[in-house]
Structure 1
Amino acid sequence: MNAKKALLISADNFEDSELLYPLYRLREAGFHVDIAAPAAGPITGMHGYAVTANLAADAVESAGSCGYSLLVLPGGKAPATLRTIPKIIDIVNDFASSGIPMAAICHGPQILVTARLLRGRHATCYKTVADELKEAGALYEDAPVVVDGNLVTSRMPDDLPDFMREVMKKVG
C-alpha cells in the first residue's frame, strides 16, 4: 500500500514551529510530505531552522493526479510572498475544488484570502490578520482551531496541538 501524501507549501521566513510540527507529525503518521516553495532547495524559517523544498511550485501537478490527501499552509512571513505567486494560488484553488483537506495556521490563511476561498467559511488566523479575513467574507472566530468542512485553521504556534489533532482527524 502506498503511503499517504501531503503537500506543504512555504518559503523563506516561515514560522519555524508551524512548518516543523506538522511536517514531523505527518511523517510520524506515515505520510510522505512534499515541501513546495517558489524554487526547490533550502528555505529558512524566521528563527533559523532550514528545510529543503523538494519541489518548485511550478513542478506541482494537480492535487488529484499526485495522490495528495492534505495541503498545509504554515504561517510566519512566508505567506506574504506566496500569495503573490499565481502558481501558488492555482495550487490552492486546485486543492479546494478537489475537496482535499486544507490546513492553514497563523498568516497561512492570507493565501486562502488571495485565492478567494474564505467567503462564508468559518476560519481563524493570527490576530493581526483577522480584519483581512473578515473583509474577505470569512466568518472569523477567535479560537485555537476552527474546522469548516475540509478546512482547518488555527491562530498561532500555541495552537499547534489542537490544529494537528483536527488535521489528523481529517486525514484518518
Structure 2
Amino acid sequence: MSKLSGKRFIFFVEEDYEDLELWYPKIRLIEEGAETVVASPEKGKLYRGKHGYPCKSEISFDEVNPDDYDGIVIPGGYAPDKIRRYPKALEIVKKLNDANKIVAFICHAGWVPISARILKGRKATSVGAIKDDMVNAGVNWVDEAVVVDGNLISSRTPNDLPEFCKAIIEKASSGCSCC
C-alpha cells in the first residue's frame, strides 16, 4: 500500500500560478497514492501558469467540501493574489485549518492564509517579497526551506520544493491528528 493511499488533497489554481509549485507537489502526492483535486473559481476552466503550463480545474471553489479532504496545497506565483479575493476560497482554507488538516503553501501563496486570518501567532516562511505581509499578519517569519507548525507547512520558493513535498508526505503519512 502506498504511503498516502486514501488521502485526498485539494489544490488551488488561478491564472499565473507558479507552474512548478503546483505540478511538483501534485505529482509527488499522486506518486505516494494520494488523490488530488484541482479547484478554482470556475470548474473546467484552463488556467495558464507563469511559464505557460496549463492546468484545468476539476471543481469550482463552491463545490469544495473541506470535510472531504485531508489537506490543501496552495501554489505561489501571482495566482494567490487573485485567489484571496474569493470568500469561498478563504472559507475552505479556514475550515481545513480549524479541523487541524494540512494547509501547505509556498512562495507568494502565504497571501491566501493571511486573508483567511489563520496565521496570527504561527511560525511560517514565504518568499522574501511578502515577508512584511506575513509579519504584519502576526506570523513568526523565519527564513528556512520548510517550516512545519502543527498543520501548517510553508516554503519559500521552487528551490525548496523537495523539502516542501517531503514535509507534506511525512505529515500526511504519520497518522497525525491533522489528517
Bin for the TM-score computed over the shorter chain? over 0.9
Match of residue 147 from structure 2: 146
Q: Secondary structure at the match of 2:101?
A: coil
> Runs of 5+ in structure 2 lacking a partner?
174-179
Match of residue 169 from structure 2: 168
Query: 1-10 or 106-115: which moved more?
Result: 1-10
Normalising by structure 1, we get a TM-score of: 0.95
Match of residue 28 from structure 2: 25
Please provide the CA RMSD for this pair.
1.1
Match of residue 73 from structure 2: 72
- After superposition, the C-alpha distances for 1:59-110 in whole angstroms (9 at most, x for unaligned) are 112x22x1x1111010000000000110001100110111111100001111
Match of residue 39 from structure 2: 36
Shift of 1:40: 1.4
Shift of 1:3: 2.7
Match of residue 46 from structure 1: 50
User: What fraction of aligned residue pairs are identical, expressed as a percent?
Assistant: 37
Q: How many residues align?
A: 169
Q: Which amino acid aligns with 1:85?
A: Y
Shift of 1:169: 0.7
For 2:90 and 2:28, the matched residues in 1 are separated by 25
Shift of 1:126: 0.7
Match of residue 11 from structure 1: 14
Shift of 1:31: 1.0
For 1:126 and 1:8, the matched residues in 2 are separated by 19
Match of residue 177 from structure 2: none
Q: Secondary structure at the match of 1:108?
A: helix
For 1:171 and 1:52, the matched residues in 2 are separated by 25
Query: 37-46 or 156-165: which moved more?
Result: 37-46
- After superposition, the C-alpha distances for 1:94-134 in whole angstroms (9 at most, x for unaligned) are 10111111100001111011011111100000110000000
Match of residue 126 from structure 1: 127
Query: 2-11 or 93-102: which moved more?
Result: 2-11
